[in-house]
Amino acid sequence: MEAIREVDPEGSISLVAEEAFPSYSRPMISERLSLEADHAKIAYRQGDYWKAQRVDAYLGRRAVKLDFEARAAELDDGSRLGFERLLLATGGRSIVPRMEGVEKRGFFTFTRLSDAEVLSEAVEAARSVVVVGGGLIGVGVAEALVKRGLQVTIVELKERLLSLLLDAEASRIMEDAIRAAGVLIITGRSAQRVLGREGDEATVGGVALDNGAQFSCDLVVVAIGVMPRTELVAGTPVKTRRGILVDRYMETSVPGVYAAGDVAEAFDFIQGDDRVLALWPVAHLQGRIAGYNMASYRREYPGGTAMSALSYFAVPVISVGLTQPEKPEGYEFLVRRGPGPRDYGKLVLRDGRIVGLILVGAIERAGLYFALMKERVDVSGLKERLLSDEFGLASFPEALRGKLMG
């Protein structure tokens, strides 16, 4: 909407949002759960934002049907909103694995602010929790619950935590820090059944794993990830694969209809193909590009790539791009270890260019490495210095310094 208003101050804008909360930062909901942030802190824009932008906001409402011939959206109360151009930013829904007992009281998912609110209330009367999922969301939930004083167990299907973001060495560093905080980590196992309490089968009392092991707990939180919410366009001319397919202008296969965020399948400049990237900075950029084009101000999406910045259990981590190629042939790996036990750096090069990076502990040069990656700078002559403490902008010719800083 901000991008639209930059170039079109007069056109009418309507927003339909399923959540009743104003716009907020979803990556910060774990801070809401830990009580380190209130609504004001995680608000992406303040309460008078919609009025200032002259937006008709339908909060707590849901679009249930799209009529592309009539150019109208039907809402859950039966009303209809006409449109000339439409942005689909339906996001993702929580992935819940096949397991018995998910209907029990004390079972939660963790994707939206409302999830954090109801879980926060349940924590008051709880002592222990099992978190199903050892990825970015699961580790964030685990830290928040540790801060609330709960005994936390993480159950992860893969052999190590954060396996999609980090290589084995970086994962080990994170796991050591998480265990040091008192968290029990179980990897290579899946949760098969949510058990009830003795004398109260309708309330969570434990979890049974695929190997028969059982763990008592008061709460279960599934934090595996999200799947694109494409159901609104099912059976319509809008083409989908894993998400809604868009071109470099964020436009779908239906002219005048755009998609952005966790539901969009858009260009990845490292992979060279379209993929879903459920990441806040990527969603923000895609939304702006879509807004410009909806307002007839032609702007091309430069592409995004996998990128995560986290600081859980006092360990700052940056992961960007292709960090663990399936086939190592054709790639070069530069690694730095130490001096501290939680200090690790890795750059992945292909054809002399950076295509992936992992930084643990010392993350100050992440922005510079990302600029080199995005500009596809050949760093072949700088390999010996890339991960040194002296490496910086001064290492480059003046023309290249200006380009990277610009």
pLDDT digits (tens, 9 = 90+) for 66-100: 999 999 999 999 999 999 999 999 999 999 999 99
**In the predicted model, what is the mean pLDDT of residues 235-241?**
97
Predicted local distance difference test score (pLDDT) of residue 397: 65
Q: Which two tokens stand for residue 299?
A: 């702007």
- Supply the pLDDT for residue 45: 75
Q: Name which residue leads in pLDDT, 393 or 178.
A: 178
Q: How far apart are the first and last CA of the chain?
A: 26
Residue 199 has pLDDT above 90, yes or no: yes
**Domains of the chain (ranges, CATH numbers):** 2-93+233-294 (3.50.50.60), 96-224 (3.50.50.60), 314-405 (3.30.390.30)
Which pLDDT belongs to residue 405?
Answer: 66
pLDDT at 394 over 80: no
Place of tokens 């530069």: 334
Average pLDDT over residues 348-357: 96
pLDDT per position as a tens digit, 290-313: 999 999 999 999 999 999 999 999
State how far Cα 7 lies from the chain centre.
Answer: 29
Residue pLDDT, tens place only, 268-279: 999 999 999 999
Query: In this structure, what token pair is assigned to residue 67?
Result: 């009529």
Q: Which tens digits make up the pLDDT trace of 322-332?
A: 999 999 899 99
The pLDDT mean for the chain works out to 93
pLDDT of residue 406: 60
Taking the whole predicted model, whether its pTM rises above 0.85 is answered as: yes
Asked whether residue 22 carries a pLDDT value surpassing 80, the answer given is no
State the number of CA atoms in the 13 A half-sphere of 72 facing the CB: 8
CA triplet 2, 309, 243: central angle to 5 degrees?
60
Res 375 pLDDT > 70: yes
- Residue 187 has a pLDDT of 98
Mean pLDDT across 232-261: 97
Residue 394 class from Cβ within 10 Å (0-12 exposed, 13-18 middle, 19+ buried)?
A: exposed
- Mean local confidence (pLDDT), 124-131: 97
